[in-house]
Each structure stands twice: as structure tokens, then as C-alpha cells.
Amino acid sequence: MVHATSPLLLLLLSLALVAPSLSARKCSLSGKWANDLGSNMTIEDVNENGEFYGTYDTAVADYPQNIKESPLLGFRQNRARKPTFGFTVRWKFSESTTVFVGQCFTDRSGKEVLKTTWLQRFPIENTDDDWKATRASSNFYTRLRTEEE
Amino acid sequence: MVHATSPLLLLLLSLALVAPSLSARKCSLSGKWANDLGSNMTIEDVNENGEFYGTYDTAVADYPQNIKESPLLGFRQNRARKPTFGFTVRWKFSESTTVFVGQCFTDRSGKEVLKTTWLQRFPIENTDDDWKATRASSNFYTRLRTEEE
Amino acid sequence: MVHATSPLLLLLLSLALVAPSLSARKCSLSGKWANDLGSNMTIEDVNENGEFYGTYDTAVADYPQNIKESPLLGFRQNRARKPTFGFTVRWKFSESTTVFVGQCFTDRSGKEVLKTTWLQRFPIENTDDDWKATRASSNFYTRLRTEEE
Amino acid sequence: MVHATSPLLLLLLSLALVAPSLSARKCSLSGKWANDLGSNMTIEDVNENGEFYGTYDTAVADYPQNIKESPLLGFRQNRARKPTFGFTVRWKFSESTTVFVGQCFTDRSGKEVLKTTWLQRFPIENTDDDWKATRASSNFYTRLRTEEE
């Protein structure tokens, strides 16, 4: 009978309605991002293992005239709504490699930001020069809105 | 006639003989490695794009009893004999992520070493706590010889 | 006679007038600064060896209720108009130590900013735990204007 | 009477005898140290505020022919037997500045080691280049025994 609708059932129904919007608020890495230096990156879909591919188009380099879009590859943690992630960029215009590690945040207004810290490794001739091979810094990224959106 | 053998030809012949051993000395990431903390990792074949997969079995963690072997994924530069590389580890027993960046060296005796620097990112609840989210350190790895080898 | 005033002399005169304001634009560390987290620091006069003292009043800590103003001590390079500098903070409410390294900038409008990167070291019980002892991050500081100014 | 000597008194006497050697095992920064790169440093007495001066004689530099002994200045935490510390080196042959942070360890055999992580800041012309201004690495130091000792 209709009036037998239990409080439990109502709760489950409510959750079913609410869950999509909650899950929609999980911070998503996929899409186009721009950082505070004017560099852009595009991250493709994250698969069920947390693996993702993308491309990095840096605005800054030791020899800016050589810059080429470069591939990136990384992992995102799966469970958290504000997941940590990491990725490697193999520069196509340099023998160096950069790794980024960070976390994806969505604030109450829905604004997304990626906070990252990175290390760039330069090739050196022998291990005695290892002390000078690594740069460190931080960047943050906000979602790049395209005109169609 | 014997005396017609030019010095140039001899040089080319020598190079042809020497080249394979030189190229064999290109530092290879693939295989099993152990670091100075007792952590092990296995890196599978590096493909033609410089991409590689592997597994990381850490000896150290904030909660060592939880340690599980975890996947890694990264890029190696292709051209250099002592290539730089980077990879991401998605810890299966933690919501943190670690990125390593480094370089592969082979010394004259053929001994291989990976010199790396890493960043570990912990999830934080909001961006105000970003200042405390990232650990940094260095490790080196030597090739782990199995008994069969 | 007036028309004997050479263009060179005029140039020299102009430089003499301009130079003090140019040299006044050397970025000065001394004073009160606030960073992007709400932490404040006061740097006292830098002596002729580039040495300076000050106090750091952090807005963030692992146990914020314990926060106490803490002393800082460092060196600034002397020659450049945008000098690099470094300092150590001995936290009075923690057994950790933090070092900051950075550079002092003045933009054309006279706005000053300190760009810094820092490392925080936590005491660990033995060297096996060294891998987890160091945090890294970045902060920038702008000059804190007091009401009297 | 002699046989009234209490066990408590004996304990206190033992502690009085043992305490100096225990306190002697507090890791001391003062003295001459050498690191894994062949760089040497001398740290003078640490005062009651934890403040210390010293000199750094690096074995490595971007332009090794320019190397000059350079002053260092820092703080050590006071209470712990394995204190954390930090210091700044103002290079006399470069406009860069380096900060070290670390911890002083004494193992059971009395062997002392300083584990450090450092950041080196290079002057850049404007804040757009801030991303490339900072190097990071690690070093450890062992006490340098002079022949007289």
C-alpha cells in the first residue's frame, strides 16, 4: 500500500537524487587548464585505473623559441573527491624531464583549481654533477573555458 | 692488395665492431631496482615513445603495516645514453601520490645507478593547508641482481 | 653662454638627478611583510655583511594553538638591485626548523614582492626515517603598510 | 651508618655519573664537516639562542675556478639530542644564495652525521622567470677528523 512507504525508502530515494550532484562535485582532471605562467595543458579522460594522457604546451623554457607541445602521462587517485595526482612531461624540445604532483580542488562555487609542485631534471654528464641537476617550483592551474562552453 | 687497406676503412671497421658495445652501454631503465632504503621497483620495457609501466614495492611508509605493491607509470627521454626520466606512483594503501624524476647512469665498469629526487603529495581538505601537503627527498637505485642471472 | 651647454653635460646632469631614485629602488628587505597565507614577518636592518635578524609570526602550523612568534636570521646578497637572500626560522613552538630562500623584487610602480621557496625539517628518531622529514613549498610576501605610513 | 645507603641514593649517584656521558652524546654541530661531494664546512660554537656562524668551502660550483670560502649563519634547535637546524650561505663568488635544513644524528658507536636538504636561489631579472630560479638537492656530512685529534 502506498502509505506504507518507509522512511528508509524515502532516504534511499533522496540519496539517489542527491548522489549525482555530489559525484558531479568530484574534482575532475579532464579538460583544458591554464597556469599562472600562461602555460596550457589538456588532460584526456582518466581511465578506471586512474591513468591519464595529455599534452602540455608550456609558455616558458630556457630556450623559448624551441618550445613544442609535449606529451604527459600520469596517475590520479580514485577515491577522494579532491584527489591527488601526478604526471610526467617528456619535453620534445629538451632532454630534461619534469614531474608534477598535486591535488584537484573544487570550491563551493564550483571553481576548480589544481595546486601542483614540480621538479625538472636536467641531464648531466656524470653523477658528480648530480647536485645541480634538479629545479623545483610550484604552479596552480585553473580550468580554461573555451568559447563554445 | 693488402697495403691498399685505407686507414679510413680500418676506422670504419673498428667503429662497426665497437658500436654495438657502446650502444649496449646506453643506460636501461628496464628491470628490477633497489634503493638505499630497501625499497624495490620493477620497470617493464620502455616503448618507442619512451613510456613505461612498472610496480613499486616500498620499504617505508607512514603506516608500514598497510604497504601494498603499487603501480608506476612514466616517461623516459629517448636520445641520450644517460637519459632523464620521470614516473608517478599511485599508492594502493594511501591517498597520496609520489612523483620521481631522475637520470640513469652507467659507469665505466658497467655499474648502473638511478639518481632520483621525489615529491609526495598528501590530500588536504582545503587549499589553505596547501603549504603542508608536499614532502621532498632523494633516493638512488642500483640494479637488483637475481640469483639466476 | 647658454648654448654652450653640451648634450653630454645635460645627460650627465640628468643621470645625477635620476641616480638617487634608481638606487632608492634597490629592493629592501627591511620592514614588515605579509604572505599569501596571512603570515607576517619583520626584518630588521641588514648590516654591511648582508646579515639580518627578524621575527616570524606564522598564520599556519600543524598545531595552530601553539603558535608563538619566532626568531629568524639570515643573509642577503649585497650587490644586486634585486638581491637573493636566505634565512632560517627557529620555531619556538616546535622542534622543526624552516629555511627560506628567495629574491626581492621591485616593479616599475615601486611595488615590492619577495618570492620565496622553503623547506621545513622535522626531527626524526633515526636516519632510516630521513625520507619523511622534509616538507617543501613556496610563498610570496608583500610589504605590510602600517597605518602611520 | 654505612649500611643505611639507600637504593635511591645509589640510583641518584649512578645518574650523576652517567649523565655527563649521556649529555655528551647530544649531537654537536660545532666543528669541521665534509660532505659526500668533498665540500667542507666549519661551524663555530652554537650560542645559547641556538645561533651559529661558520664558513663553507664548496667543492662544486657552476664556475669552479671562482670558488671562494663563504660565510654561513643559522639556527639550531636547543632541546633535542638530535636537533634540527638550518643555515644560509652567502656565496662570495656568486649572486645566488643557498639555504640548508637538516638534522644532527649520533649513532650508538658515536659516529655523527648531518642529513641536509638544500635550495639554491639564482637571481633572475623579473618575476616571470621565477619558475627557473631554484635548485634543490640533498647532502650528508660527516665529521672531518684533523690529524692532531
What does each C-alpha distance from B132 to B38, C124, D14, D136 come to in angstroms? 27, 17, 44, 18
Residue D10 has pLDDT above 80, yes or no: no
- The three grid cell numbers given for residue C66, joined into one nine-digit string: 601553539
Distance of residue D45 Cα from the nearest chain B Cα, in angstroms: 29
**Is the distance from CB of D76 to CB of A146 less than 8 angstroms?**
no
Whether A66 and chain C come into contact, CB under 8 Å, resolves to no
Specify which residues D119 forms β-bridges with: D99, D136
Distance of residue A9 Cα from the nearest chain D Cα, in angstroms: 55
- Which of D60, D131, D135 is the best residue to mutate to test the A interface, defined by the most A CB atoms within 10 Å of its own CB? D131
Per-position DSSP letters for C80-101, written without gaps between them: -SS-EEEEEEE-TTSS-EEEEE
Domains along chain B with CATH numbers: 26-143 (2.40.128.30)
- The Cα D43–Cα C86 span in angstroms is 18
Which chains have 3+ CB pairs within 8 A of D? A, B, C
**Is the distance from CB of B117 to CB of B138 less than 8 angstroms?**
yes
For residues D57-82, average pLDDT: 94
Whether D134 and chain B come into contact, CB under 8 Å, resolves to no
CB contact under 8 A, C88 and D75: yes
- The Cα C124–Cα C133 span in angstroms is 7
Residue D79 confidence (pLDDT):
85
Strand runs labelled E in chain D: 31-35, 40-43, 51-57, 70-76, 84-90, 97-106, 112-121, 134-143
Whether D100 and chain C come into contact, CB under 8 Å, resolves to yes
Whether B54 and chain A come into contact, CB under 8 Å, resolves to no
ipTM above 0.95, yes or no: no
The region that residue B97 occupies, defined by phi over 0 for left and psi between -120 and 50 for alpha, beta otherwise, is beta
Residue C25 has pLDDT above 90, yes or no: no
Residue A10 has pLDDT above 80, yes or no: no
User: Residue A129's closest chain D neighbor by CA?
Assistant: D60
Residue D19 has pLDDT above 90, yes or no: no
Residue D9 confidence (pLDDT):
53
For residues D27-50, average pLDDT: 95
- The Cα B25–Cα C147 span in angstroms is 67
pLDDT (tens digit per residue) in C46-96:
999 999 999 999 999 999 999 999 999 999 998 889 999 999 999 999 999
Which chains have 3+ CB pairs within 8 A of A? B, C, D
Q: What is the dihedral of CA C88, C91, C96, C99, to 10 degrees?
A: -20
Q: What is the pTM of this model?
A: 0.85
pLDDT (tens digit per residue) in B71-122:
999 999 988 899 999 999 999 999 999 999 999 999 778 889 999 999 999 9
Whether C67 and chain B come into contact, CB under 8 Å, resolves to no
- The Cα D105–Cα A149 span in angstroms is 58
pLDDT (tens digit per residue) in C82-115:
999 999 999 999 999 999 999 999 977 888 999 9
Whether C95 and chain B come into contact, CB under 8 Å, resolves to no
Residue A147 has pLDDT above 80, yes or no: no
- The three grid cell numbers given for residue B94, joined into one nine-digit string: 594511501
- The three grid cell numbers given for residue D50, joined into one nine-digit string: 641556538
For residues D112-125, average pLDDT: 97
